[in-house]
Amino acid sequence: MKIFATILCSLISIGAFAQKTYVLRQNYPTGYKYDFSITSDQIINQKIGGQDVHLTQNIGTDYTFDITEGHSGEKDIKVTYNRIFIKSIAMGTSMTFNSDDQDSTKKNPFSGLKGASFFMTVTPNGGIKTVAGIEKMLDNMAVKMSNDTNEIKQIKNELGKQFSAEVVKQTMESSFKIYPDRAVKIGDSWTVDTKMQMSMPIETITQYTLKEVKDGIAILSVKGTLVSKGNFEAMGNKMETDLSGTNSGETSLDIKTGIVLNSHLRIELYGKMKSMGKDIDFEMQGINKIVGKEIN
């Protein structure tokens, strides 16, 4: 009887352990600061009017999140751009812009971003409830880039297309809106739908699965689909997209705070584009990475 009881207790214990649940959510501690580095390496192949065009890009942004206040699970955050850069190589020609380059004699659209900041309120699921301070940020950026009043207005209008409140909201959600709306156990999955329009419009439907928990770190496997259908403008040209693709990889986050510590995703996007009446065969492969760390 004792042996049977011991076996029964062991089975109950194993079952209870297997069913352990975890609450994964944004729980950034007020008063803390975090640095995030977000990079994207892309290889793009296009066929335009029978001509093959090969392009490689390296894009990155470094932020500091200063958690200023908390209320009902939501957190107010001051976001500061520490660095933003892009390097493109196409048809033997290289183009580089880096906010660290503060040479006023050069036309650098990123020079005004170094040290620029705005404010946002983040919900427990990682969604962005509000974005504030964008207008002031754009004013400060434009003034850094020119002394001419008319040119400042033009610069601000152009910057506003890439750094509007809605674009900033979508950009942040595409990286940090990852949490489930319920407690989950290992093996459970949930789906998150985000949109982003930095250049072309992209909707991402991503399935996250809690793969493993170790030493307070949750490992999530990531698998999703990408769709880009719509119109946008790039370098003065009107574009139309009909693209689809996938994203897959892993993300690790701290269970206590919800901070994303590391994310490594492979991106594929392919299909048709149209510009100036020409059809374009488009194919992109890329790696998106996020690295986060506390800096207090």
Asked if pLDDT for residue 142 goes beyond 90, the answer is no
Lowest mean pLDDT, pick from 13-27, 43-57, 202-216, 247-261: 13-27
Lowest mean pLDDT, pick from 6-20, 127-141, 157-171, 278-292: 6-20
- Please compute the mean of the pLDDT values over residues 5-22 and round it to a whole number: 58
- Please compute the mean of the pLDDT values over residues 66-81 and round it to a whole number: 95
**pLDDT for position 98:** 87
pLDDT band, residue 104 (cuts 50/70/90): low
pLDDT band, residue 70 (cuts 50/70/90): very high
Which of 22, 133, 120 minimizes the C-alpha distance to 74? 120
State which CATH number among 2.30.230, 1.10.260, 3.40.50, 2.60.220 fits the domain covering 20-294. 2.30.230
Give the chain's mean pLDDT. 87
- What single string gives the DSSP state of each residue in the chain? -HHHHHHHHHHHHHHHHHT-EE-----PPTT-EEEEEEEEEEEEEEEETTEEEEEEEEEEEEEEEEEEEEETTEEEEEEEEEEEEEEEEETTEEEEEETT---TTS--TTGGGTT-EEEEEE-TTS-EEEEE-HHHHHHHHHHHH-S-HHHHHHHHHHHHHHS-HHHHHHHHHHHH----SS-EETT-EEEEEEEEESSSEEEEEEEEEEEEEETTEEEEEEEEEEEEEEEEEETTEEEEEEEEEEEEEEEEEETTT--EEEEEEEEEEEEEEEETTEEEEEEEEEEEEEEEEE--
Asked if pLDDT for residue 4 goes beyond 60, the answer is no
Q: Which residue has the higher pLDDT, 6 or 153?
A: 153
Asked if pLDDT for residue 259 goes beyond 90, the answer is yes
- Please compute the mean of the pLDDT values over residues 41-46 and round it to a whole number: 94
Tokens of 135: 């207008």
Asked if pLDDT for residue 179 goes beyond 60, the answer is yes
**pLDDT for position 95:** 86
Asked if pLDDT for residue 3 goes beyond 60, the answer is no
pLDDT band, residue 236 (cuts 50/70/90): low
Lowest mean pLDDT, pick from 19-33, 69-83, 188-202: 188-202
pLDDT more than 90, % of the chain = 61
State which amino acid sits at residue 193: D
**pLDDT for position 106:** 67
Q: Which residue has the higher pLDDT, 277 or 284?
A: 284
Asked if pLDDT for residue 6 goes beyond 80, the answer is no
**pLDDT for position 50:** 81
- Please compute the mean of the pLDDT values over residues 159-169 and round it to a whole number: 83
Query: What is the value of pTM for the model shown?
Result: 0.86
Asked if pLDDT for residue 12 goes beyond 50, the answer is no
